[in-house]
Structure 1
Amino acid sequence: MHGRPQDILESGDLVDWRNRALLVFDRVPVPVAVCRTDGLVLLANPAMAAEWGTSPGRLPGRNVLELFHPSSAEQVHRIVEAVRRGHRSRYPMRVHWTAPDGRERYGELTADTVSDSAQAPLWLLVLLKVLGDRPEPPGRPAAQVTPVEKRILALAAGGATTERIARSVGLTVDGVNYHLTRLSRRWGVPNRTALVARAYVLGVLAPDTWPPAAG
């Protein structure tokens, strides 16, 4: 028999606690991922995967800095340098990303260096604080819309119901209404008919095409 009973008990306890930690990790409502110090995702919880409309098993192998775009390259260099020196503290960074439905989102990533022991390699525990949809940048052309919004406008121009639009673009009815409402506010129009008319005026929809299509 190898090892003392105390060692075996401690080893078993360690495995048990790691299993419990993984269970808690999956249930945490905040988006969380464990990454290598170069940003490669090793593990992600369901809340993090939900921001990308996917499952946790599809995020490992991707780079966190390809998923989330930092607002400042200087912040990234600061984190890299701190990790290189072995500093252990939190490093907040403002980021933005595009959700699967085309919405521009923004938030704050916090990278906290962690390891099993002082000799073990450092990992990054990355937490995402979602702040909401990204505000429209000043001076953005009114006609600039996402591909999803163009498809929604084209279907609406063809007379499709909200339910049919939702099925066609792979969104919920609430998701479609969200995009229509956001476009209406951006263009200052009161209803769907006026919204479609505005889309033609701005050149978002092609004027000489039927069924309606993006311009």
Structure 2
Amino acid sequence: MVPDSAAAVFWRNRTTGLFDRIPLPAAFCGADGTILRANPALAAEWGQLAGAFRGRSALELFHPESWGQLRSIAEAIRLHRRSRYPVAVRWTAVNGVERRGEVSVDLVDDTSFDEPNLLVIVRVAEPEAEPVASAVCAGAVDATAVRILALTAGGATTAQIASAVGLTADGVNYHLKRLSRRWGVSGRAALVARAYVTGILAPGAWPPEPARSAGRPGP
């Protein structure tokens, strides 16, 4: 029976669309770790477009806390085992921010004779929401995030902010979501209010601008 090529294309496109919408950073890799496709959430970690990661090695991006975990994956590939392997990793994200998390590696293929590919999904270890008192410290927010907050306070769209700070729209959203999680707020209006309360944006200035002490590299 000849497979329906139109149906195959439909389901391939549907699967690709779902993969791109996964909210967690994810990549589909060859058995040697070469990235075949990355989703926008992964690209946002570095403020780039997803296509820029094709052909790169996942080990260029993520650094395992223990190389022994990688040996377990290599052995699983050799023996064609099908399981999920967690790997604790760290990486340097956009603007030099140090991040940590866990990568889950699933081995996938069509037959038991094929060399398996790897589905890599990253779960980022986010810091807990900080109290207002600790956020007053200017070093709590990096310079790019401060500019994004100021432009957001002025009513700029995501596209306008991205153009002004030299990031992609995903990169801008990454900064806003990260600050939302850190501060425990929801929505841009709440983020802007928090930025004024913590002294990150200068009160009384229009258009909005950073406070003089804001925008130093944070921890």
RMSD of aligned C-alpha atoms?
Answer: 4.0
Given candidates 107, 112, 118, the residue that maps to 1:124 is 118
* TM-score, normalised by the number of residues in structure 2: 0.59
The structure number with the bigger radius of gyration is 1
- 1:57-112 residue CA offsets vs partner (Å, 9 max, x unmatched): 00111111110110111111111111111111100000011111221111100110
Identity %: 42
Matched, 1:61 2:55: yes
- Structure 1 residue 116: Cα displacement: 2.4
Higher relative contact order (CA 8 A, sep 6+): 2
CA contact 2:80–2:112 (8 Å) conserved in 1 = no
| Structure 1 length-normalised TM | 0.60
List alignment gaps of at least 5 residues for structure 1.
1-5, 135-144, 153-161, 179-189, 200-215
1:18–1:72 CA distance, 2 compared to 1 (3 A):
same
Q: Which runs of 4+ in 1 moved over 3 A?
A: 166-172
How far apart are the structure 2 equivalents of 1:101 and 1:54?
12
| Deviation at residue 52 of structure 1 after TM alignment | 1.4
- Over 3 Å counting, the alpha-carbon distance change for 1:168 and 1:125 in structure 2 is closer
Residue 8 of structure 1, CA deviation: 4.3
Q: In the TM superposition, what are the counterparts of 1:63-82 in structure 2 within 5 Å?
A: 63-82=57-76
Tell me the equivalent position of 1:106: 100
Per-residue deviation, residues 29-74 of structure 1 (Å, max 9, x unmatched)? 1111001111111101111111111111001111111101101111
Residues 118-161 of structure 1 deviation map (CA, whole Å, 9 limit, x = unaligned)? 33331000010111259xxxxxxxxxx9xx96xx6xxxxxxxxx
Structure 2 unaligned blocks of 5 or more: 129-138, 144-148, 152-160, 180-197, 201-212
What is the aligned residue count?
162
- Aligned residue for 1:7, secondary structure, equals coil
1:92 paired to 2:86:
yes
Q: Structure 1 residue 22 and structure 2 residue 11: aligned?
A: no
